[in-house]
Amino acid sequence: MQNNIATAADKKSVGFTKQDLTWSLSMFGTAVGAGVLFLPIRAGLEGFWPLILIAALVGPMTYLSHRALARFVLSSDNKKGDLADVVVEHFGKNAGVLISFLYFFAIYPIVLIYGNAITTTVDSFMVNQLGMESLPRWILSGILVGAMMSVMIMGQKLMLRATEMLVYPLVAILLGMSLYLVPQWSFEAMSFDKMPSIGNMLMVVYLTIPMLIFSFNHSPAVSTMAQAQRDAHGDNAVAKSDLILKNASFMLLGFVMLFVFSCVLALSPEQLAEAKEQNLSILSYLANVSDQPIIAYMGPLVAFLAIFSSFFGHYLGAKEGLAGIVRKGAPQVIEATGEKNFDKALVAFFFFTTWGVAVINPSVLGMIESLGAPFIAAILFLMPMYAIKKVPAMKKYDGKLSNIFVAVMGVVAISSIVNGLI
């Protein structure tokens, strides 16, 4: 009986407003970053057919997992509590510290990935499109990482304004690039007549799921969005956040998968393998192999906008996460240094570590699959499902088939990482 009980707030019909659209676009901007630019490489390496199954899975994966996380945040009695506060309320202080660590390590590698990816993108553009000599990587990466972080240092309002300004052209250009590539689709290269075995196709999907989770992840913005809906709509916050996340998921599914299909059909599996070997995003690779000026110049621009817009939210989340860990685990450090010096130390930590990784230039795909995705899967897919079973305020969501689907996808994501490491 309890499983079928829904609150009036959950049942109440809500309309989609301009403010809701702004939030959905914010979710979109948080998700569209380096992952989307590398997703066609991972998803298309084995040809066209696995993409069909991937496209069928990623929509429900994205919406149901983020919906569960938002509902978890809204289950708190603390109207101003963030994700870590909600975990402490429901599971205790030790669990709160653990989730703070997991949350930090889910976001921090993404910051490192963006520093590396933007350096490679700009270097490739300078050499291949502008005909310039490469700057020493340590100089170029230092300038670019410093430029991205300087926007954050100047203030959160400037960051939000910059993100809002970037999202709209990013949506338009991403759609434009996807459609522009349509005449270049090569159906022969994708071997439509050669259907892979079920086993091989499932293995490709299995290994791609971590990349999907990373590429469609907008969890860093979910807590803030859910709290804003509670402030604005009270008991109707769950229905509102569900609606915002559903529309964000539809937008991501439509725009991103069109982009993925368009890129994969415009290139051969051999070219995708070459892009992976060169550690380039798909648009930077397209710019280098295309003789069309619009692709040569717009491709790197889209990559730059995508990385820049997504960097802000992830850097802010990682910084707040690390600060929370220190405040919970070693408050005496902050007392000894003072708040201002502590903040400067955090900025220095993120700058030098992001700069260092950009200089080293590890594989972006490897970093995503081995560092980013497993922590995201633990927080986004598994923790809310555990809460549904254990937290009284979440019990009304128990007994749904969607819960099993989300939990299975989370376990699959983590197990594929372990399989890859072995």
Measured at the CA of 127, the angle between CA 123 and CA 133, to 5 degrees, comes to: 95
Any idea what DSSP says for residue 395?
G
For residue 69, is pLDDT > 90? yes
Residues 245 and 67: beta-carbon distance below 8 Å: yes
For residue 13, is pLDDT > 60? no
Least confident among 11-15, 141-145, 387-391: 11-15
Q: Residues 109-123: what's their mean pLDDT?
A: 90
For residue 369, is pLDDT > 90? no
Closest CA to 250 of 17, 62, 390, 379: 62
Q: Residues 157-172: what's their mean pLDDT?
A: 69
| Confidence (pLDDT) at 264 | 87
Residues 265 and 286: beta-carbon distance below 8 Å: no
For residue 10, is pLDDT > 50? no
| Confidence (pLDDT) at 350 | 94
| Confidence (pLDDT) at 8 | 43
C-alpha span between 361 and 388 (Å, rounded): 41
pLDDT band at 419 (very low <50, low <70, confident <90, very high): low
pLDDT band at 164 (very low <50, low <70, confident <90, very high): low
Residue at 189: amino acid letter: A
**Coil, strand or helix at 291:** coil
C-alpha span between 141 and 143 (Å, rounded): 5
**So what CATH class is 2-421?**
mainly alpha
pLDDT band at 303 (very low <50, low <70, confident <90, very high): confident
pLDDT band at 5 (very low <50, low <70, confident <90, very high): very low
- Domains of the chain, by residue range, sit at 2-421
- DSSP string across 170-188: HHHHHHHHHHHTGGG--TT
For residue 122, is pLDDT > 80? yes
Could you count the other beta carbons within 10 Å of the beta carbon of residue 173? Answer: 17
Q: Residues 90-101: what's their mean pLDDT?
A: 82
For residue 48, is pLDDT > 80? no
Alpha helices (H) in 82-221, listed in sequence order:
83-91, 93-124, 137-153, 156-180, 198-215
For residue 71, is pLDDT > 50? yes
Highest-confidence range of 12-26, 140-154, 225-239, 281-295, by mean pLDDT? 225-239
Residue at 66: amino acid letter: H
Instruction: Express each pLDDT in 187-234 by its tens digit.
Output: 765 555 667 778 888 888 888 888 899 889 988 789 889 988 998 888
Whole-number CA gyration radius for the chain:
21
User: Token digits for 76?
Assistant: 């708190």
Report the sign of the C-alpha dihedral through residues 177, 183, 185, 186, in that order: negative
C-alpha span between 249 and 93 (Å, rounded): 33
Which helix H or strand E contains 242, and what residues bound it? helix 237-266
Could you count the other beta carbons within 10 Å of the beta carbon of residue 17? Answer: 12
For residue 401, is pLDDT > 80? yes
C-alpha span between 288 and 282 (Å, rounded): 10
Closest CA to 85 of 344, 243, 320, 338: 320
Alpha helices (H) in 330-422, listed in sequence order:
331-337, 339-360, 364-367, 373-377, 383-390, 401-421
Bigger pLDDT: 2 vs 24: 24
| Confidence (pLDDT) at 9 | 42
| Confidence (pLDDT) at 253 | 93
Q: Residues 274-299: what's their mean pLDDT?
A: 84
| Confidence (pLDDT) at 97 | 79
Q: Compute the mean pLDDT over every residue in the chain, rounded to the nearest whole number.
A: 83
Residue whose structure tokens are 């990682």: 318
Residues 9 and 235: beta-carbon distance below 8 Å: yes
For residue 3, is pLDDT > 60? no
Closest CA to 262 of 332, 186, 338, 161: 186
Instruction: Express each pLDDT in 309-329 by its tens digit.
Output: 778 777 877 887 888 788 777
For residue 47, is pLDDT > 80? no
| Confidence (pLDDT) at 2 | 43
C-alpha span between 68 and 51 (Å, rounded): 26
End-to-end CA distance of the chain: 45
For residue 153, is pLDDT > 80? no
| Confidence (pLDDT) at 304 | 81
pLDDT band at 1 (very low <50, low <70, confident <90, very high): very low
Any idea what DSSP says for residue 132?
P
Q: Number of C-alpha atoms within 13 angstroms, CB side, residue 397?
A: 27
C-alpha span between 31 and 16 (Å, rounded): 21
Residues 60 and 381: beta-carbon distance below 8 Å: no
pLDDT band at 75 (very low <50, low <70, confident <90, very high): very high
User: Token digits for 286?
Assistant: 């397209």
